[in-house]
Amino acid sequence: MAKAIVTQNREDYPNTFYGGGGCCGESVNRFQSGCYNNVNRSFEQTKQCVQMSSVQVLTKIDDSLCVFHSPVGCTGCTSFINAFSKLLRVQMGRGAPRNIHYIATNMDEHDVVFGSTDKLIAAIAEGYRRYKPKVVFILASCASGIIGDNINAAAKQAEEQIGTKVIPIHCEGFRSQLNSTGIDTAFDAITGYLLDGTHPPKEDDLVNLFFPQSTTAYDRLEMAKIMGLFGKRANTVPDYATVDDILRIPAAAASIVACYIFGDHLAEWLKKEYGIPYEIIGLPIGLKNTDNYVRSLGKLFGQEDVAEAFIEKEHARIEKPLAELRKKLAGKRVLTGSGTSRSLSTALLAGDLGMEIVALQTPVLNNDVVREVGVLSEQHGDEFVLDISCVQPFELANIIKKYKVDFLIGFSTVSTMLGVPGIQTQGQYDFQQAGYDGILNLGEKIARLSANPTLQAHLRDRGYSPYSEEWLRKDPFSYLKKEEAV
């Protein structure tokens, strides 16, 4: 088995910050002048852990087994992943619904005091007996990390016992301020234990396509369809892939990364180890990002003429219905938030629809975000709010009220309780957002929801919001530790 792999935390990347908030223009100026500091919060409502990001990557490899070396509570979100996984599998034409395979060691007080590697090895053996996987992933947890259980040694012993590759994933929930570190940790395990040293025959028409786990089935199919215009096949991994599919990753002629934090780490490794070129773009949501996706493919394959012809044809096709949507939505004040790539791409889409950006929430501030925020500033000015936070609903609620938001694109639960309509874009939902048809589809949904906020008004008037008026009157960044700010 390969040596232990230590993944660099995302917050340790150059020019990468995970906390702060305020005027966009001021934040960008401080970033560009080298004066931006991370600002921690004295109170946080919630945050996604590193382990769950690794889980989202690894559980959907078809012939794998994930063993949580943790209390059973750490598997809570996995049932949610499982439900969407079954739906998306059918939507993508990948066969009948099936459950993802995972078990937990269910660490208890005795295990925390005395250690539990024997229990872990026994759990792996039992999981192998049930599912006969081609690969087993051990998912470390806060509990196993704190007591120092040696999952590397346990993996080696279990591998000798069952005769199948067992891979330790050092994804302790507390190890990083940014949950995207868990994505990198999972991909490091794939490259270090599965792909290292493999040299499959090259397939010149195969292209690796990496996108966030939250991308809908229809968006995945649309991205693959557009790739087909250039005579290429999309290798969409690791979701619903087999171990054999994973082993074909180095066979690809190129890689496209449709996210600023998902897959970039893997694409860079593939370029270094196999010379595979790649392009990093945002999710192809909205005119700019869809155009960029098509042009990136044209550039990679030397078919710029094909790309430009397709863009011109699609712009002409959607021009009239897009103009009608702009009439309905012009001047609506919107907040976008979600993962980094999705919040930025939907903000650009909102501009396409004639809406006004008043706030944007993103988990990270880095060079990619600053570049895309610059494009937004050209459309909307630089006075809108930039909230650098990883899933802080209480802050979101305050911004919605203070800045009189008319519509929210992203995590819409908070806005709904405040009487503000919104649309949930994060997750495997039953509608297309990507591509040129996605612009119209998402625009129509936003227009309909904006025109009929009856449910939101009902919930607001009956006091369903958990946030007090006292909090909603405060500055939204009251809990930022001011002494840390510059």
pLDDT of residue 428: 55
Residue 212 lies in a domain: yes
Specify the range with the lowest mean pLDDT, choosing from 86-100, 135-149, 290-304, 360-374.
86-100
Q: Are residues 107 and 142 in the same domain?
A: yes
Sign of CA dihedral 104, 110, 112, 117: negative
Structural domain contains residue 96: yes
pLDDT above 70 covers a percentage of the chain that reads: 97
Express each pLDDT in 74-127 by its tens digit. 998 898 888 888 888 888 888 888 899 999 999 999 999 999 999 999 999 999
Chain segment 386-416, per-residue pLDDT in tens? 999 887 889 999 999 999 999 999 888 889 9
Answer yes or no: do 212 and 297 share one domain: yes
Residue 245 has pLDDT above 70, yes or no: yes
Helix, strand, coil % in the chain, rounded to nearest 5: 50, 15, 35
- Which of 283, 301, 319 terminates a domain? The answer is 301
Q: Which tens digit of pLDDT belongs to each residue from 258-292?
A: 888 888 889 999 999 999 999 998 899 999 999 99
User: What torsion, rounded to 10 degrees, do the Cα atoms 251, 252, 258, 264 define?
Assistant: 50
Q: Domain for residue 58, yes or no? A: yes
Residues 188, 240, single domain; the answer is no
Share of the chain above pLDDT 90, in %: 69
Please identify which residue in the block is written with the tokens 């079954």. 86
Residue 216 lies in a domain: yes
For residues 43 and 262, give the distance between their C-alpha atoms in angstroms, rounded to a whole number.
28
Owner of token pair 């040596």: 3
Residues 167 and 255 grouped into a single domain: no
> In terms of pLDDT, which residue wins out, 2 or 430?
430
Per the CB < 8 A criterion, the answer to whether 341 and 258 are in contact is yes
H helices within 65-216, ranges in order? 78-91, 109-114, 117-131, 142-147, 151-162, 180-189
HSE at residue 30, side-chain half, CA atoms within 13 A, is: 18
Do 210 and 168 share a structural domain? no
Tokens of 275: 């010379």
Q: What mean pLDDT do residues 309-325 have?
A: 98
**What is the C-alpha separation between 363 and 370, in angstroms, rounded?**
13
In order of 69, 72, 137, 429, the CA distances from 108 in angstroms are 11, 9, 21, 36
Overall residue count recorded for the chain in this entry:
486
Give the predicted TM-score (pTM) of the model: 0.91
DSSP letter for each residue of 204-250: TTEEEEE--TT--HHHHHHHHHHHHTTT-EEEE-STT--HHHHHTGG
Torsion 463-468-472-473 (CA) sign:
positive
Angle, alpha carbons 322-325-330 (nearest 5°): 120
Among 270, 301, 332, the domain-final residue is: 301
Phi and psi at 365, nearest 5°, equal: -115, 120
Alpha-helix residue ranges (DSSP H) falling in 302-418: 304-329, 340-352, 367-380, 393-402, 413-417
222 with 261, same domain?
yes
Residue 384 pLDDT: 95
Residue 13 in any domain: the answer is no
For residue 231, give its domain range.
206-301
- As beta bridge partners, residue 69 has none
pLDDT band at 446 (very low <50, low <70, confident <90, very high): very high
- Residue 166 and residue 96 share a domain: yes
If asked whether residues 84 and 111 sit together in one domain, one would say yes
Q: Phi first, then psi: give them for residue 336, nearest 5 degrees.
A: -115, 140
Residues 56, 167, single domain; the answer is: yes
**Are residues 392 and 45 in contact, defined by beta-carbon separation less than 8 angstroms?**
yes
* 171 pLDDT more than 70: yes
Listed in sequence order, the residues at least 6 apart from 196 whose beta carbon sits closer than 8 Å to its beta carbon are 2
**391 belongs to a structural domain:** no
User: What would you measure as the largest C-alpha separation in the chain, in angstroms?
Assistant: 69
Q: Please indicate, yes or no, if residue 42 is contained in any of the structural domains.
A: no
Task: Give the strand order in the sheet containing 206-210.
Answer: 233-236, 206-210, 254-257, 278-280
Residue pointed to by tokens 């230590």: 6
Contact 407, 334 (CB under 8 A): yes
Residue 264, phi-psi category: left (phi > 0), alpha (psi -120 to 50), beta (remainder) = alpha
Tokens 């990496």, residue located: 210
Average pLDDT of the chain is 91
Q: Residue 483: pLDDT band by 50, 70, 90 thresholds?
A: low
* Nearest C-alpha neighbor of 391 from the set 369, 366, 413, 368: 413
| Distance (Å, whole) CA 358 – CA 383 | 8
Are 409 and 420 in contact by the 8 Å Cβ rule? The answer is no
**Sheet of 407-410, strand order:** 20-23, 385-388, 356-362, 333-337, 407-410, 422-424
* Of 98-107, 344-353, 473-482, minimum mean pLDDT range: 473-482
Question: Do 231 and 124 belong together in one domain?
Answer: no
Q: Are residues 167 and 282 located together in one domain of the fold?
A: no
| pLDDT tens-digit readout, 1-17 | 445 677 899 999 999 99
3-state secondary structure 393-431: HHHHHHHHHHCCCCEEEECCHHHHHCCCCEEECCCCCCC
Residue type, 355: M
* 189-to-257, 402, 459 alpha-carbon distances in Å: 19, 44, 45
Domain with 268 in it: what CATH number? 3.40.50.1980
**255 pairs with which residues across the strands?**
208, 278
**Of the residues 278, 301, 324, which one is the last residue of a structural domain?**
301
Q: Does residue 266 sit in the same domain as residue 131?
A: no
Domains contained in the chain, number: 2
pLDDT tens-digit readout, 17-29: 998 999 999 999 9
Mean pLDDT over 426-430 rounds to: 65
Q: Taking 70 as the threshold, does the pLDDT of residue 452 lie above it?
A: yes
